[in-house]
């Protein structure tokens, strides 16, 4: 090997050495970069997981702060005092709550029971199953958006249908969010927030399906906000037993001033609260519809018994029209005016019309609401079986009665007049003026179609299932009208025969002015 070959070999070797050295240096740099990138990736994943965990904890703290605080308190208790003390304390607390519940069930439920029950139902029932119920009842919204390229590029109809189906299956489903659960003595109020594309009426339409899903007898939907509804489930029926009406006052010296005529006790509501009816002012004109034996007599007599003192004091003057001569006749003494036949009914209505015109002349320009007094008492007309005289009688008498009832219901509110009618067949032909009654009560009826006749369109969908009331539940019905946003299930107080006689004796002995029709006809010079 000559000198030139040796130099070439050395040059090549040196070049390779330099290349290898450079590659080694670059490799170490790349390794360091890769190590840094890997460390950053691991740190990013860890940070992302930490943020997700913190977000979940924050959401739980905000949405379930009571439960979180309770768990934190339990952990602190166990850490400081130990598990044995926790078990002993829980046992003592359970015994105290049990004794409280046994001794004062109402106070226990008001201050403690309803909160514990709401917490348990949210976690054990509604939190787990409500989404499934809503989806089964069609109360979820699916995003049916299909990618544009699928609809444009596909030529085969079969392939297009398959792509559309896959796209819809891949799309998400939006479920109304559970906001809170409140639990009362008989009802659970489950509040949910609607998703875009829904309206409160969607929930009204499936109230019956939701009741079946919850395995309860009744479900009612209430709109709280434009995008928030309360789904109310009735766990148990507080109206399954008869409700006792108020007794007749025993003290003869009662002047009637202590009775609020705008809220006279009539029975109980499905929430366990007193049900009241107005005898004057807004909502005083009341139409009560129900089949025979549905309890119309309870709705009639319970408010009258509650207003016994004002009736006796002359602050309320009651007139009665009783075509059957049975229901009102049993307590005839409390009625200042009373009629049975069509002619006598016209006499009663004519007397009320005269009083109406008199009050117009006296108070016109002086007041917008006639004050209740012994001189100008509340004129209350109880019209039993109103359909017998507004349809099943001669045309002349029928038209005259309908005309006078229409005038009293449209003009009598501010002048202190109230009309309460009772009917079995609530059709427009039977009661042509039914829309003029500002408050309507639907007791047990024989057909689903009669519910909107009484309560108006949408009442059945909102939970007024009056056709499903059993025959044994006399006095149970639904109220909807002025001042009531949703159908309210009520039960009128039961008034036995002896209470009616006691009321009659109390009123007549009190000196109430009773005007008999025979006296009125004698004053007019008629037979």
Binding-site entries for ATP: 290-297
d(CA 154, CA 451): 53
User: Among 381, 458, 399, 390, which Cα is nearest to 423's?
Assistant: 390
d(CA 456, CA 336): 33
Tally of CB atoms within 10 A around 395 = 7
User: Among 481, 492, 498, 488, which Cα is nearest to 465's?
Assistant: 488
- CB-based burial of residue 6 (10 Å sphere; 0-12 exposed, 13-18 middle, 19+ buried)? exposed
Angle of CA points 171, 176, 177, to nearest 5°? 115
d(CA 250, CA 510): 12
Is 261 within 8 Å of 378 (Cβ atoms)? yes
d(CA 337, CA 184): 45
User: Among 322, 346, 361, which Cα is nearest to 400's?
Assistant: 346
Residue 150 makes CB contacts below 8 A (sequence gap 6+) with 160, 163, 164, 167
d(CA 348, CA 346): 5
Strands 316-321 and 378-383 turn out to be parallel
d(CA 198, CA 227): 8
d(CA 223, CA 201): 9
Question: Which residues share a beta bridge with 227?
Answer: none
Is 347 within 8 Å of 390 (Cβ atoms)? no
DSSP-derived secondary structure letter, 86? H
User: Among 428, 420, 466, which Cα is nearest to 447's?
Assistant: 466
Helix (H) or strand (E) holding 220: strand 219-225
The CA-to-CA distance between both ends of the chain, in Å, stands at 162
Question: Hunting for tokens 């007794």 — which residue is that?
Answer: 247
d(CA 219, CA 137): 13
What b/e readout covers 69-99, taking b as 16+ CB neighbours within 10 angstroms? eeeeeeeeeeeeeeeeeeeeeeeeeeeeeee
The binding site comprises 290-297
Is 408 within 8 Å of 274 (Cβ atoms)? no
d(CA 228, CA 194): 6
Helix (H) or strand (E) holding 224: strand 219-225
């Amino acid at each position: 090997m000559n000198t030139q070959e040796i130099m070439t070999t050395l040059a090549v070797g040196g070049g390779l050495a330099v290349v290898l050295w450079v590659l080694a240096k670059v490799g170490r740099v790349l390794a360091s970069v890769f190590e840094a990138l890997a460390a950053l990736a691991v740190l990013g994943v860890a940070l992302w997981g930490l943020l997700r965990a913190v977000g979940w904890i924050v959401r739980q703290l905000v949405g379930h702060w009571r439960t979180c605080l309770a768990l934190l308190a339990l952990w602190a208790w166990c850490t400081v005092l130990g598990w044995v003390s926790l078990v002993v304390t829980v046992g003592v607390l359970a015994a105290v709550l049990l004794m409280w519940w046994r001794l004062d069930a109402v106070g226990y439920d008001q201050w403690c029971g309803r909160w514990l029950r709401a917490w348990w139902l949210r976690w054990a029932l509604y939190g787990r199953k409500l989404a499934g119920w809503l989806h089964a009842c069609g109360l979820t919204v699916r995003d049916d958006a299909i990618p544009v390229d699928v609809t444009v590029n596909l030529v085969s109809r079969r392939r297009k249908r398959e792509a559309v189906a896959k796209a819809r299956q891949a799309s998400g489903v939006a479920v109304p969010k559970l906001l809170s659960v409140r639990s009362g003595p008989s009802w659970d109020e489950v509040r949910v927030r609607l998703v875009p594309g829904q309206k409160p009426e969607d929930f009204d339409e499936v109230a019956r399906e939701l009741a079946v899903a919850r395995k309860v007898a009744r479900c009612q939907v209430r709109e709280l906000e434009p995008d928030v509804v309360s789904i109310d489930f009735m766990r148990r029926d507080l109206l399954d037993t008869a409700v006792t009406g108020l007794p007749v006052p025993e003290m003869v010296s009662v002047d009637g001033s202590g009775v609020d005529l705008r809220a006279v006790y009539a029975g109980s509501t499905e929430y366990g609260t007193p049900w009241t009816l107005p005898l004057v002012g807004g909502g005083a004109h009341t139409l009560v519809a129900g089949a025979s034996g549905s309890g119309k007599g309870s709705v009639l007599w319970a408010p009258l018994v509650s207003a016994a003192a004002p009736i006796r004091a002359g602050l309320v003057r009651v007139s009665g029209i009783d075509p059957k001569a049975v229901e009102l006749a049993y307590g005839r003494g409390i009625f200042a005016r009373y009629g049975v036949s069509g002619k006598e009914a016209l006499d009663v209505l004519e007397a009320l019309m005269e009083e109406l015109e008199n009050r117009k002349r006296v108070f016109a320009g002086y007041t917008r609401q006639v004050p209740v007094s012994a001189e100008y008492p509340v004129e209350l007309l109880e019209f039993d079986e109103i359909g017998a005289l507004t349809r099943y009688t001669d045309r002349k008498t029928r038209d005259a009665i309908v005309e006078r009832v229409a005038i009293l219901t449209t003009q009598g509110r501010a002048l202190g007049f109230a009309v309460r009618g009772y009917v079995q067949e609530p059709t427009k032909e039977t009661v042509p003026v039914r829309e003029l009654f500002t408050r309507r009560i639907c007791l047990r009826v024989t057909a689903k179609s009669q519910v909107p006749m009484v309560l108006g369109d949408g009442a059945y969908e909102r939970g007024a299932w009056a056709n499903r009331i059993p025959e044994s539940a006399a006095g149970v019905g639904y109220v909807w009208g002025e001042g009531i946003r949703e159908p309210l299930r009520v039960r009128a107080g039961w008034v036995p025969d002896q209470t009616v006689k006691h009321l009659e004796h109390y009123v007549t002995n009190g000196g109430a002015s009773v005007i008999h029709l025979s006296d009125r006809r004698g004053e007019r010079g008629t037979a």
